[in-house]
Structure 1
Amino acid sequence: MSNRNSGYWCKWILFTITALCGVGSNVHSQNLEAVGKESPLTITGGVSLNQILYAVDGMESRRDPYSYYASGNINFNLYGWSVPLSFTYSNQQGSFQQPFNQYGLHPTYKWVTGHLGYASMNFSPYTLAGHIFLGAGIEARPGKWNVSAMYGRLQKAVEPDSTSEGTVVPAFKRMGYGVKAGYADGNDFVNIIAFRAKDEENSISYVPDGDDILPEENLVLSVAGGKELFSRIVLMAEYAISGITRDTRAPEASLESNKIFDNAGPLFTPRLSSSYYSAFKTGVNYQADAYSIGFGYERIDPGYRTLGAYFFNNDMESITMNTATAFFGGKVNVAANVGVQRDNLDNTKVSTMKRVVGSMNIGYAASERLNFSASYSNFQTFTNIRSQFLDINQLTPYDNLDTLNFTQISQNATLNTNYVLRADKERRQNINLNLTFQDASDQQGGVEQNSGSQFYMANAAYSVSLVPRNLTITGAFNYNENKAATINSMTLGPTLAVSKTLMERKMRVSISTSWNESYTNGDKMSRVANLRVAGGYIIKKKHNFNLSLVTVNRETDSEGGASSFTEFTGTLGYSYSFSSR
């Protein structure tokens, strides 16, 4: 037998063996082309052991005086077929984990990938969107064409249990299948998708009254496409329709509209409990030499659902716009986007919510050493509640126009500056400044409410690294302030840290300390000081020893506040990693 033929048969023998052996957890793709070209089996893993000493004075102990924690993992890899095992053990509890609860094989050969066992696939957000299934699937990309298909169980049957007191929710067995076919050439593409799922009525013995558990059926059809025009404009769109039957035991019905579902044959049976929805999304982007701009629009009918997704947002219409540009030879970069979203598209809800979101990011590289970046975002939510009492009690059409209009406004602004004082073989120095502002406010009937808050944060840091000595020193000052209706709280204080590597960087040591004081409405509430010492040593890149000592001291100045205390935590750890590569 020739080497080519023997290699061919080895690939398919391995594929068959792994398909028969895999029952129960997801693994990475198995590349069948690797057979005979690399080591067939590799073993990797590691173990670690940590011991923790704890002591406290001034308050109730938050943990045991002594505890230990051991963990380990080992992974067997056969031509990409991975079997990971892990364990944890402490003086409080122990556990062992193996992946055979949901196992899946994903063999790959050239442009074909298969899925066997437990798997998930993604056709589009409106059809099959990452739902896990137990079955088989395939994804093939021959040239510019692409074809994907799947078949399997989306939901297993769960029998009712009258003794569970509501903890067990009955469910029908749900089977599904779908196909996606398309052609793509750069930004030009077209995709056609069909997905069907149906519950098996006889998969459970009975359904308790009042549980609202009914056998459903769903058919989703979608077409998506994109086109590039003049090498600068890209158009994209997707349109999907979903027919969903709430109860497959309901009588059949004929449709005057939505004829595509009436003529779907065995794929879908229209019934009196059936409903039909649509979703549409489109966008256009224009890329010029110095700027780009894009628009997007999305509309999803109220009630739109697909059984190929776990969760789905519907009853939504949104319009978005984004743009980006650069000035002064790329030194200044600006990006901005704005969007408007609303619900209650069919005006059947008591309340209507509208959201307006806007943001802007600016970056300025003044020089190789000085950089600025700033951002601003604004999030507004407008809610209108239509109460029946307004119609009953109003005397004129102009009464109570704004009393049930609620507006929530959230703003966020940040500024970051970094300046490199020195950067050479001997020393590296830099200064960093961060400023953050957040504001949240409420309005009712156009009147500002006394329920808003403002948050301010400032951080300034200086760092110097003495390169030949492998020594780094950092000093920082932090300031936080939160202003609310009746409370103004503030925390501020410095931090100092020193770190150094020794013995050709095999050993590292660090020490840091901080001092923070807290105030409420101008009165000092507490002071917190902490000291941290840490060290680590590496032997032959596989053995790692770590030591950490932390002391925290809090002094309380206010009466009736939290008690003063001193707390100590020491951790000694060891870890070992191995590999057969």
Structure 2
Amino acid sequence: MKTWKPAGWCGVGGALLGLSALLAAPAAAQDIATLDQQKPVTLSGTLDVRGIFYQAQGIEARRKPFSYVLAGSPTLSIYGIAVPVSFVLSEQDRRFRQPFNQFGLSPTYKWVTVHAGYRNLTFSPFTLAGHTVLGGGVELNPGKLRFASMVGRFSRATSVDPVSGSLMPFSFSRKGYAGKLGFGTEKSFIDLSLVRARDDSSSVSRETRQLAETTGAANNRVLPAANLVLGLSGRLTIKKDWLLEADGGLSFFTRDVGSSLAVEEALPKALRQPLSKLIAVNGSTEAYTAWQAAAGYQHNGNGLKVRYRRVSPGFQSMGAYYFQDDVQNLTLVPTLTLWQQKLRLTGSVGIQQDNLREQKQLTSRRLIGSLNASAEFTERLGLDVSYTNYTTDQQPGAVQVADTFRLTQTQQSLSVAPRYTYAGETWGHTVLLSADRAILRDQSPDELGKLGEFTSYNAFLSYQLTWVPRRFSVGATYNYTQLKLATGDDGNHGLQLNADQAFGQDGQVRLGVRGSLLRSLRADQPSRLVGGGLRAAWRVSRHHTFRTDVVFTGHYPTGDETTQNRRYSETSGEIGYAFTL
């Protein structure tokens, strides 16, 4: 059974709120059996104070001459469960954030896990799939039995801003439950799951609905809905090398629980009667399907996997935030390892298509392909290569349209990155080279589409030398960037240098200097970019660190100055202090 990952916590009333405020688990469930091995209370984090100076010449100042920032990120841990807090205070910004102000906890004892508060749950890809729910649940794993259930609020009601009337379209409070029953382990299992949820029409007042209509916040009428999703998932591992897995979902969605329209022929009569006992069934009720399947072989780094996915138009589940619907794709994913695992090749090739019911004017078909190669020639020398190709072609669907509206595009990218690393007792060398090219071509006859075409080139060559006994390093990097557009060329190229020196027995003091000189081209207008910086840091002790940083940037046109290509310079400095718990 997949582990339920809590999204955060929120009090669910009374003593639970008080307990949750202390036991704020940001990750996996807390094992009660190990509480005696955890420290009762610990406090960690940082407090940071910065003063920032700024000056500009030749252009309008982009920030104030002086600003300050007081920031902190303390974390309180009680028996291994953390409650992180962060805050920022400046003349422009004052805010306090407790990212886990949605509280919850999941204590575990042996094969029993209890969930309370805000939990992020996953039962299957098409039923309850990563949705955060406020409520309670239980998970039982005695042997190969896979049981889980939960009940609670899927989303809270929201209302229109009474002042502006444009905050957001209102939404109802949504409540429901979900369950899963299965047998097996993560290698081989079969699971049945379901989600049943319904909007509470009484959670939004009549005044709010009227306000939404009068202010135009509800351009599309918001109606209370209901949903029932049934899911079946399974996986079969054969002799550790062969894998078969499949997931399916059947969703019944009623878009207006108060509709008086008859069902008519939308659903078979034999299905309407049992279904009406679980959700409101009327003329707005529709059925949707989604399923995916995969088969693969993997052995010693070599393998092949075939995946197929089909999601019908309109498919949705109240137990998931988003689905890409009206799409089907078939993908092959090969993996190859050679030369005693020194060369690894992975890739994928597939076909994707929409307009499954032929109701759209155009059908989009995409050819998707990628290849990744990683080679370790020696312990020091390696190479990474990546290639992707995406081709989209739209064909007329149920309604014939002119070729002018058709879209045919090809996107390609190629990246090559060799690397060399040597780490000795006295000297260390690192050489990195990266080059990539990306293109977009519009194959349609429409000349307007040609304006969106581009070709980009990016490359850098970096060398870093480290003198290990002296804690000294120096490096140089050459950058090259070019973007070719129909409206002109942009880009820059040049050299960047950096050096860093640590002083003291444990490197308590560090000094760094950097500089750069680039030639720039913007809309066919050339210029030079000059930059430099000086950084210093002094770690007085484990708790106290002082630092300062000064940066200069200059922009100098090599031709005639224009409004868009002006001569200017900027200087900024920062003095800071950090306290670490």
Q: Normalization by structure 1: what TM-score?
A: 0.88
What residue in structure 2 maps to residue 574 of structure 1? 577
Aligned residue runs from structure 1 range 429-468, under 5 A? 429-444=429-444, 450-451=450-451, 452-468=453-469
Query: How many angstroms does 1:423 deviate by?
Result: 3.8
Q: 2:142 aligned with 1:142, yes or no?
A: yes
8 Å contact from structure 2 (residues 197, 318) kept in 1 = yes
Match of 2:89 in 1: 89
**Deviation digits for residues 347-387 of structure 1, max 9, x if unmatched?**
11122211211001122222223212211100112123559
My pick for the range that moved more, 80-89 or 471-480, is 80-89
* Residue in 1 that maps onto 2:492: 491
Query: Out of 328, 331, 341, which is 1:320 matched to?
Result: 331
Q: Report the secondary structure of 1:225's partner residue.
A: strand
Q: Deviations over 1:180-200 (max 9, x none)?
A: 122223521111101100122
Offset at residue 271 of structure 1 (A): 1.6
* Count of residue pairs the alignment pairs up: 552
**Which residue pairs with 2:60 in the alignment?**
60
Aligned to 2:3: none
Uncovered stretches (5+) of structure 2, i.e. residues with no partner: 1-12, 214-218
- State the alpha-carbon separation in 1 of the partners of residues 274 and 579 from structure 2: 64
Equivalent residues of 2:561, 2:567 under 8 A apart: no
- SS at the partner of 2:542? coil
Please name the residue that 1:377 is paired with. Answer: 388
CA distance in 1, matches of 2:435, 2:386: 11
* Structure 1 residues 258 and 491: alpha-carbon distance in aligned structure 2, compared to 1, 3 A threshold: farther
Counterpart residue number, 1:167: 167
Q: Which residue of 2 aligns with 1:296?
A: 307
Please tell me whether Structure 1 or Structure 2 has the larger radius of gyration of its CA atoms. 1
Counterpart CA distance in 2 for 1:159 and 1:147 is: 37
Residue in structure 2 matched with residue 553 of structure 1 by the alignment: 554
Aligned partners of 2:46 and 2:74 also within 8 Å: yes
Given the superposition, is the C-alpha separation of residues 111 and 291 from structure 1 closer, same or farther in structure 2, using an over 3 Å criterion? same
Q: Secondary structure at the match of 1:468?
A: coil
CA apart distance, 1:253: 3.9
SS of the aligned residue for 1:268 comes to: coil
The AA in structure 1 aligned to 2:473 is: T
Q: 2:509 aligns with which of 507, 523, 546?
A: 507
Counterpart CA distance in 2 for 1:507 and 1:461 is 26
Q: Which residue of 2 aligns with 1:539?
A: 540
Counterpart of 2:60, as a letter, is E
Identity among equivalent positions (%) equals 29
Q: Which amino acid aligns with 1:181?
A: L
Could you list the per-position Cα deviations for residues 401-425 of structure 1 after superposition, in whole angstroms to 9, with x for gaps in the alignment?
A: x5543211110001111234x5421
Shift of 1:334: 1.5
Deviations 1:316-345 (A, max 9, x none): 111010101122332322111112111110
Q: Tell me if the contact between 1:18 and 1:105 (Cα under 8 Å) persists in the aligned partners.
A: no
Give, in angstroms, the shift of residue 148 of structure 1.
1.6
Letter in 1 for 2:225: E
- Mark the CA change 1:205 to 1:566 in structure 2 (over 3 Å): closer, same or farther: closer
Q: C-alpha offsets along residues 254-307 of structure 1, whole Å, 9 cap, x if unaligned?
A: 776384553246323422211001111000011245620010001111111111
CA gap 1:488/1:291 in 2 versus in 1, 3 angstroms: same
Does residue 530 of the first structure (1) align with residue 541 of the second (2)? Answer: no
The answer to whether the 8 A contact 1:243-1:261 is kept is no
Q: Work out whether 1:225 is the aligned partner of 2:234.
A: yes
Q: Structure 1's 123 and 24: CA in aligned 2 closer, same or farther, altered over 3 A? A: farther
Residue 25 of structure 1 contacts residue 118 of structure 1 at CA under 8 Å; is this kept in 2?
A: no
SS in 2 for 1:127: coil
Q: Which AA in structure 2 matches 1:464?
A: L
Q: Name the amino acid aligned to 1:96.
A: F
Contact kept? 2:257, 2:281, Cα under 8 Å? no
Would the alpha carbon gap of residues 479 and 101 (structure 1) be closer, same or farther in structure 2, given more than 3 Å must change? closer
Give, in whole Å, the separation in 1 of the partners of 2:426 and 2:160: 73
> Cα 1:40–1:231, aligned 2, differ >3 Å: closer, same or farther?
closer
Counterpart residue number, 2:366: 355
Aligned pair partner of 1:342 in 353, 360, 369: 353
Aligned residue in 2 for 1:266: 277
Q: Matched residue of 1:262: which SS?
A: helix
Taking structure 1 as reference, are residues 265 and 484 closer, same or farther at Cα in structure 2, changes over 3 Å only? Answer: closer
Identify if the C-alpha distance between structure 1 residues 309 and 290 changes in structure 2 by more than 3 Å, giving closer, same or farther: closer
Q: Quote how far apart the aligned CAs of 1:571 are.
A: 0.6
The range that moved more, 441-450 or 315-324, is: 441-450
Q: Distance in 2 between matches of 1:340 and 1:24?
A: 50
CA distance in 1 between partners of 2:446 and 2:97 (Å): 57
What SS is found at the alignment partner of 1:202?
helix
Counterpart mapping for 1:102-181 below 5 A: 102-158=102-158, 164-181=164-181
Aligned counterpart, 2:294: 283
Equivalent runs, 1:196-235 vs 2, <5 Å: 196-206=196-206, 207-208=209-210, 211-235=220-244
Question: Structure 1 residue 122: deviation in Å?
Answer: 1.3
Shift of 1:314: 0.8
Tell me the equivalent position of 2:259.
250
Rounded to whole Å, the distance in 2 between the matches of 1:235 and 1:382 is 32
Deviation string, structure 1 residues 105-144 (Cα, Å, up to 9, x no partner) = 3323333332222222111221112222221122232232
Deviations 1:76-123 (A, max 9, x none): 322244444433211333233346853223323333332222222111
* Kept in 1: contact 2:125–2:247 (CA 8 A): no
One-letter amino acid of the structure 2 residue matched with residue 424 of structure 1? G
Whole-Å separation in 1 of the counterparts to 2:429 and 2:418: 14
Please say which of residues 281-290 and 189-198 is displaced more in the overlay.
281-290
Within-5 A mapping of 1:33-48:
33-48=33-48
Q: What is the letter of the counterpart of residue 427 of structure 1?
A: W
The residue matched to 1:247 in structure 2 has which SS? Answer: coil
User: What is the CA–CA distance in structure 1 between the aligned matches of 2:496 and 2:155, rounded to whole Å?
Assistant: 54
Q: Among 535, 557, 564, which residue is 2:567 paired with?
A: 564
Residues 496-542 of structure 1, C-alpha deviation per residue, up to 9 Å, x if partnerless? 11111111212211111010011368x66211111111111213222
Cα distance change, pair 326–160 in 1 and its aligned pair in 2 (3 A): closer
Quote the Cα distance in structure 2 between the aligned partners of 1:379 and 1:500: 46
Equivalent-residue separation in structure 2 for 1:478 and 1:204 (angstroms): 57
Q: Which runs of 5+ in 1 are unaligned?
A: 1-14, 391-399
Cα separation, partners in 2 of 1:552 and 1:19, compared to 1, 3 Å: closer
SS of 1:444's equivalent? coil
Q: 1:462 to 1:272 in 2, by over 3 A?
A: same
User: Matched residue of 1:33: which SS?
Assistant: helix
- Structure 1 vs Structure 2 CA RMSD: 2.8
> Given that residues 386 and 404 in structure 1 are in contact (C-alpha distance below 8 angstroms), is that contact kept between their aligned partners in structure 2?
no
Range with bigger deviation, 205-214 or 114-123: 205-214
> Quick check: 175-184 or 281-290, which moved more?
281-290
Cα distance in 2, alignment partners of residues 123 and 271 from structure 1: 28
**Are 1:283 and 1:294, in contact at CA under 8 Å, matched by a contact in 2?**
yes
Taking a change above 3 Å as real, the CA distance of residues 480 and 39 of structure 1, as seen in their structure-2 partners, is: closer
2:470 matched to which residue of 1? 469
Give secondary structure in 2 for the equivalent of 1:263: helix
Partner amino acid, structure 1, of 2:495: P
**1:574 maps to amino acid:** Y
Q: 1:186, 1:304 → 2: CA distance?
A: 27
Moved more, 185-194 or 87-96: 87-96
SS of the equivalent of 2:45 reads strand
Structure-2 change in CA distance of 1:267 and 1:545 (3 Å):
same
Q: For the residues of structure 1 that align with 2:293 and 2:269, how far apart are their CA atoms?
A: 22
**Alignment partners' CA distance in 1, 2:20 and 2:340:** 57
Which stretch of structure 1 is more off in the superposition, 310-319 or 283-292?
283-292
